[in-house]
Amino acid sequence: GGGGGAAMAEDEGLVSVDYEVSGKVQGVFFRKYTQGEAKRLGLVGWVQNTSHGTVQGQIQGPPARVRELQEWLRKVGSPQSRISRAEFSNEKKIKALEHKEFQILK
């Protein structure tokens, strides 16, 4: 990570990005940890298991924070998980957050 002041984070606006994580990511509390990390970073969105064994969702918030969660989804995950791939798509600037919190969807 580079330096730079975090004081004027407001000016960066907000972004929304969809994600899908492949690997051993179901049955290892991946959603719970993702929610915890998102809340720690002050992000909103959702996460859910898919029928084909991946975890997918959406992240919204300040770009720098969203990047942090993307890195976390790519490299860290929950303690028991084995991430083989994390893909991000539909990244766009948004005027306002479309979710109130970060939810785990069934």
In the chain, what are the domains?
19-97+100-104 (3.30.70.100)
Q: Which residues face 61 on adjacent strands?
A: 15
Higher pLDDT: 100 or 9? It is 100
Q: Of the listed 31, 65, 74, 82, which one is catalytic?
A: 31
**Which position has the token pair 């969203």?**
66
Amino acid sitting at position 106 = K
Strands (E), 27-81: 44-49, 55-61
31 is catalytic: yes
Q: Of the listed 49, 67, 74, 90, which one is catalytic?
A: 49
Q: pTM of this prediction? A: 0.87
Mean pLDDT along residues 3-21 = 75
pLDDT tens string 15-67: 999 999 999 999 999 999 999 999 999 999 999 999 999 999 999 999 999 99
Distance CA(7)–CA(101), nearest Å, equals 23
CA distances to 9, 29, 42 from 88, rounded to whole Å, are: 22, 21, 19
Is residue 1 predicted with pLDDT exceeding 50? no
Q: Looking only at Cα atoms, what is the longest distance across the chain?
A: 42
- Residue 2: per-residue pLDDT: 56
